[in-house]
Amino acid sequence: MDAGTARREAQRNGPGGGAGPAVDPVADPVIVRLRGIEKSFDGASLVVKGVDLDIRRGEFLTLLGPSGSGKTTILMMLAGFETPTRGEIVIDGRPVGNLPPHKRDIGIVFQSYALFPHMTVAENLAFPLEVRKRRRGEIRERVERALSIVRLDGLGGRRPNQLSGGQQQRVALARALVFEPKLVLMDEPLGALDKQLREHMQLEIKHIHERLGVTFVYVTHDQTEALTMSDRVAVMSHGVIEQLDTPERVYEAPLNAFVAHFVGENNRLPGRVLSSDGTTCVVEVADGWRIDALAIGKGAVPGAATTVSLRPERVRLGEAAAGCANRFEAEVLELVYLGDHTRLRLATCGQEAFVLKIAHTGGPPHLRPGERIGIGFATEDCRALDEI
């Protein structure tokens, strides 16, 4: 299998493999298939480049990436608001290339809420059911059920401008769920909320998904949202999926330098591989400092330029560093108190921006700028990735 084929298989299936062509859509564990999806808006450059992706029935999948990575474009093609330049989208066993948005049985939630201001909450929720010609009694029952799901019982008579931002977002979610779609798409739905409310709504949406079992596809640039809410995360950059995996593996086992440094904070130590046994390697970083690390991809090749990735919370201090394969002396340059932990900036390993995080399980550390301390970190916490 060549590298391109392997990458497409990893995009499509993630860990654990994927299903073959659907025979019975109801029994098929995959509800959405994207095959060779490309999108160009100007006929010259591609914003989505040959994406293959299987979305599992009932899962919470997040498309995570910076602006311009192609995540929203994929969502808009799933919804039917954009048409792929090349490739095929299959939803529940049916190609949807020529199917308009209102016939795809998809609920959509936008950042702007998109509620009708002249309608009450109940009327907003009833609207997609009225468009589908549902009976009046059924509409009333479904609206009440949807309000209960998002914990807005008794607020059906209010108008959107009488609600808080969090309540409006719940109404938007209820409207996407009220007609019981097979798939719900969410495009940066919490971006307009303040930090505390956003964190609360992350858990609310996650719990709603767990109760209903509907397939959610969520778009965000916020790494915390992706890690908190998702069953799997597709990390995107420049129109391709760099890694498709569980939140834990995306954070703990990034496949390349982009994923490592986009998802969470990392110490980045550029260097060159001196030796490798295929599993671990020795990397020389600035001024002859040597680090034992896991060899990932190009990091396994002696002589190759690489970037060692190390999470700040994996760095150990003082006596805790004694048993580590990598032990160094460092100078404390700066301490930042952050409530539950202190963030130290150190000079070590040829870097003056080396970061260490100390949890306050025993209180904040008694250190001062200018002090010299011993630090250490295990081989398995360092990943020699591709060069940045």
Confidence at residue 3, expressed as pLDDT on a 0 to 100 scale: 39
pLDDT value at 195 more than 90: no
Whether the per-residue pLDDT at 22 is higher than 60: the answer is no
The CATH number given to whatever domain includes residue 313 is 2.40.50.140
Q: Where are the alpha helices (DSSP H) in 44-135?
A: 71-79, 121-131
Instruction: Quick: pLDDT tens for 248-292.
Output: 999 999 999 999 999 999 999 999 999 999 899 999 998 789 999
Say what the pLDDT of residue 26 is.
Answer: 56
3 and 56 assigned to the same domain:
yes
- For residues 233 and 339, membership in a common domain is answered with no
pLDDT at 86 over 80: yes
Please check whether residue 188 lies inside any domain of the structure. Answer: no
Q: CA–CA distance from 199 to each of 147, 263, 338, 345 (Å)?
A: 21, 17, 18, 28
The residue-averaged pLDDT of 298-320 equals: 88
- What is the pLDDT averaged over residues 39-65? 96
Q: pLDDT band at residue 131, thresholds of 50, 70 and 90?
A: confident
User: Domain check: are 295 and 249 in the same one?
Assistant: no
Q: What is the mean pLDDT of residues 311-337?
A: 94
Report the pLDDT value the prediction gives residue 337, as an integer from 0 to 100: 94
pLDDT for the residue 110: 86
| Same domain? 345 vs 288 | yes
Domain boundary residue among 216, 237, 263?
263
State the residue range of the domain holding 95: 1-105+227-263
Of the ranges 175-189, 229-243, 293-307, which is most confident? 229-243
- Burial of 383 per CB tally in 10 Å (0-12, 13-18, 19+): buried
Residues 245 and 350 in one domain: no
Determine contact, residues 121/163, Cβ cutoff 8 Å. yes
* Confidence band of 313 (pLDDT split at 50, 70, 90): very high
| 3-class secondary structure, 45 | coil
User: Does the structure show a pLDDT above 50 at 8?
Assistant: no
Domain presence at residue 64: yes
- Whether residue 78 is contained in a domain is answered as yes
- Among 207, 240, 263, the domain-final residue is 263
Does residue 161 fall inside a structural domain? no
In a domain, 209, yes or no: no
% residues pLDDT > 90 (the chain):
70
Q: Is residue 301 domain-shared with residue 325, that is, in the same domain? A: yes
Same domain, 296 and 247: no
Q: 270 and 375 in one domain?
A: yes
- Tell me, yes or no, whether 3 lies in a domain: yes
Write the DSSP string, 178-205: TT--SEEEEESTTTTS-HHHHHHHHHHH
Residues 270 and 378 in one domain: yes
Mean pLDDT over 359-364 rounds to: 86
Q: Are residues 380 and 271 in the same domain?
A: yes
pLDDT of residue 165: 86
Q: For residue 143, is it within any domain?
A: no
pLDDT at residue number 299: 55
Specify if 218 maps to a domain: no
Summarize the confidence of residues 102-113 as an average pLDDT: 86
Interval 23-31 mean pLDDT: 71
Least Cα distance to 37 among 83, 105, 86, 91 occurs for 86
Residues 225-237 have pLDDT tens digits of 999 999 999 999 9
State whether 233 and 93 are in the same domain.
yes
CB count, 10 Å around CB of 338?
10
Predicted confidence (pLDDT) at residue 98 exceeds the cutoff of 90 = no
With vertex at residue 185, the alpha carbon angle to CA 229 and CA 193, rounded to the nearest 5 degrees, is 60
How far is Cα 249 from Cα 190, in angstroms, rounded to an integer? 24
340 with 374, same domain: the answer is: yes
Count of the separate structural domains present in the chain = 2
CATH assignment at residue 47:
3.40.50.300
